[in-house]
Amino acid sequence: MLSTKSFPVIEATLPIIAERISSITPNFYNRLFTAHPELLDGIFSRSNQKNGTQQQALAGSIAVFATYLVKYPNTTPETMLARVAHKHTSLGVVEEQYPIVYKHLFDAIAEDLGDALTPEIAEAWTEVYWLMAHALIKIEKGLYAQQANAEIYAPWKLVERTETGLDSVVFSFEPADETPVTVAKPGQFVSVRMPMADGIRQVRQYTLSNDIEHASRRTITVKLDVNGEFSPVIHNDLKIGDIVELSNPYGDLVVENDGSPLVIATAGIGCTPSAAALQTLAANGSNRKVTVLHADQEFSAWPLRDQMIESVSKLPEATISTWFERGELPEGLNAKAGYMDLTEALTEDAQVYLCGPLPFMNAVRNQALEAGVPAERIHYEVFGPDVWLAA
């Protein structure tokens, strides 16, 4: 909770800080990477640095956190904190790094605001930073402690690769050393760290798409982004027998086993967490009512299609409906042309899980909210930094 001294200061300065975030952020990262170039080798993503909106996620989330403290003084934004903490732990962020980020962020704020930054304002925002930092550090320590090992990365060997959809590949790995393996939950992701052509390591998070409860196998599905940095390397360079570094599994978009009806709506490569959840439900002989909705550009573009259809056929209470933007519609699968309409599938007690590109998620999330599904029953995963946080 904010101190009574800081509360009015934060309330009064929030609009200024929120407005200045976009000019503070590049300065902050410049300072951070000049002082700590090692953070660009295997921790921060170079691609995200090139994208202004994505760059704002970190600093922007502090303004969102402050807004929350002012509006709901006795609570903290758990969903946002959990999302950031899972991302951080998958990258190996540790407590000792928080003072470093603090220094460079606040130096950037001081430079940006100049004389407008009185000691009183600086002190109040320092309080916000550390409230948020300590909340994150606490969750992150808990997440690290749940793992079967104390490593950030362990070496895994590629044992299988299979094309799926038009431009995606399923990669399966097995442990390449004796590091104990944490059993994952459906919906979780791992960080993959690999050297790029210039030797600098980059990291991306990929949802585990199959073999979830298999203790000695990790399977991810990667869509090729021809303009991206990472996916062309993993698609073109990774051969059977090659070793990559994988983190322990993290992520809290885990389908809770509370028995309530599930509505799982996905688009494109966003189907990976749902494919994992369906496979796990089928393997456990679940009788849960599950409505699977998937939208894709065309039938042949749908990654993990056969796996998902097979899982649905094994679940006695599951149905599937599909939408395709172009091409011939398949027989069955309740296929329709055009964009997804969620409304028919919604029931009052449903838990709704969404995953796909942002425009899709905005559209279907609004449909669910308009249909009266309470926000706490709508769960979502954004691939890439969550720009809703900074909104």
Q: How far is the CB of 121 from ligand HEM (least distance, A)?
A: 18
CB of 132 to ligand HEM, least distance (A): 4
CB nearer to ligand HEM: pick between 2 and 389: 389
**d(Cα 192, Cα 242) in Å, to the nearest integer?**
13
Name which of 61 and 286 has its Cβ closer to ligand HEM.
Answer: 61
In the complex, minimum distance from the CB of residue 65 to ligand HEM, in angstroms, rounded to a whole number: 7
| SS3 at position 381 | strand
Helix (H) or strand (E) segment spanning residue 245: strand 243-247
- The burial of 122, by beta-carbon neighbours within 10 Å (0-12 exposed, 13-18 middle, 19 or more buried), is given as middle
Least gap, CB of 49 to ligand HEM (angstroms)? 7
Q: Is 245 an active-site residue?
A: no
The two structure tokens encoding residue 195 = 């050297």
Alpha-carbon distance of 334 to 259, in angstroms, equals: 25
CA distances from 318 to 188, 288, 315, 342 (A): 22, 8, 5, 16
What ranges in the chain are assigned the alpha helix state H? 6-35, 46-50, 52-55, 57-71, 78-91, 98-113, 119-145, 230-237, 272-283, 305-314, 358-370, 387-390
Separation of alpha carbons 220 and 383, rounded Å: 14
Quick one: 52 or 180, whose CB is closer to ligand HEM?
52
Class of residue 37 by CB neighbours under 10 A (exposed 0-12, middle 13-18, buried 19+): exposed
CA separation for the pair 114, 97 (Å, rounded): 26
Taking the complex as a whole, how short is the minimal distance between the CB of residue 228 and ligand HEM, in angstroms? 13
Interacting residues of 386 by C-beta distance below 8 A, sequence separation 6+: 57, 83
Residue of 295, 248, 252 lying closest to 382 (CA atoms): 252
DSSP class of residue 43 equals T
Is 144 among the residues known to form the active site? Answer: no
Active-site residue, selected from the candidate residues 68, 98, 144, 339? 98
**Where on the chain is the footprint of ligand HEM (CB under 6 A)?**
39, 43-45, 48, 57-58, 61-62, 83-84, 87-88, 91, 93, 97-98, 101, 129, 132-133, 136, 385-386, 389
CA–CA distance, 111 with 302 (Å, rounded to integer): 49
**For residue 268, which phi and psi values (nearest 5 degrees)?**
55, -140
Q: State the minimum distance, in angstroms, from the CB of residue 62 to ligand HEM.
A: 5
Q: How far is the CB of 69 from ligand HEM (least distance, A)?
A: 13
Closer by beta carbon to ligand HEM, 55 or else 210 = 55
Is-contact 384 230, C-beta < 8 A?
no
Residue 142 near residue 114 (C-beta atoms within 8 A) = no
Which position among 140, 250, 353, 380 bears the catalytic label? Answer: 140
What's the min distance (Å) between Cβ of 239 and ligand HEM? 26
Active site residues: 98, 140
